[in-house]
Amino acid sequence: MIVIVKSDGTETLPMHQPQVQLYLQNVLKSVLKVSGGSKITNLSQALNDISKGEGKASGNYRFRNQPVLHASAGVPGVSSVTLLFYRQGANDYIFAMGSHKGSSSYVLDAYGQTGDATYKHKAGISL
């Protein structure tokens, strides 16, 4: 199951992947004005990676005292989607969404955490 940690730190109830897909598609539509196409396909692929347990380590980054993982899909700088999350118990917690900008850099252009400078909206992350 996947939980979305909203920008204000509150959480959704645990959801199955199709529900999470719709939730995050709405974020892409409202924030980035994405209506479909490869960005949505790449969101689906990144969520597949999370659901299959194929998230990648993100160096020394931590959120809520948990090691941060990321899942990315798509062409950097074009239509990529990157999800930052952590795993706790049986659930994955997505807390930021952005784009893969270079070989090891990301920007949280879709959403981040209001109370956390590292993961705030539009912050850059380098691994």
Q: What confidence score (pLDDT) does residue 92 get?
A: 98
Helices (H) and strands (E) in the chain, counts: 2, 7
Q: What confidence score (pLDDT) does residue 82 get?
A: 95
The first and second tokens of residue 34, run together, are 């994405």
2: CB partners within 8 A, 6+ apart: 14, 15, 16, 17, 20, 47, 50, 51, 85, 91, 92, 93, 94
Q: What is the mean pLDDT of each run of 10 residues along the chain (127 residues)?
A: 97 97 93 80 95 93 96 86 96 96 89 94 92
CB count, 10 Å around CB of 72?
20
The first and second tokens of residue 17, run together, are 């992947």
pTM for this prediction: 0.94
The first and second tokens of residue 11, run together, are 């959480």
